[in-house]
Amino acid sequence: MHIPEYLELFSNNGSMRVRVRFMGHQASVAEQSMQEDELIRLIDPATGRLYRRMSFDEWPFEVLGYEIELAKGRLTIKVKALVENE
């Protein structure tokens, strides 16, 4: 299973901001920017489904959800640390 790296997903160029919320974890990562058409990059081409896992500096996390706020021009990705047996 391919786990995408957050910092490689988006162009970091555009009007929409991308932020990550780490649930139950003290980690943080730089906010990025993107164009709206880059939302397609959240879909795994092998399965056609939204990515359920994402890595941050090669540390894997489970994606709990994606929140798109059009009025604020923001995508929030909510993640939590993977349990070792998953």
Range of the domain at 51: 6-81
Which residues of the chain are under the pLDDT cut of 50?
Answer: 85-86
Q: Is 1 part of a structural domain of the chain?
A: no
Q: Is 86 part of a structural domain of the chain?
A: no
Total number of domains in the chain? 1
Its sign, for the CA torsion 70, 32, 1, 39, is positive
Dist. CA 1–CA 14, nearest whole Å: 29
pLDDT score at 14: 96
Residue with tokens 């649930």: 23
pLDDT score at 84: 58
pLDDT score at 2: 84
pLDDT score at 85: 44
What pTM was computed for the model?
A: 0.91
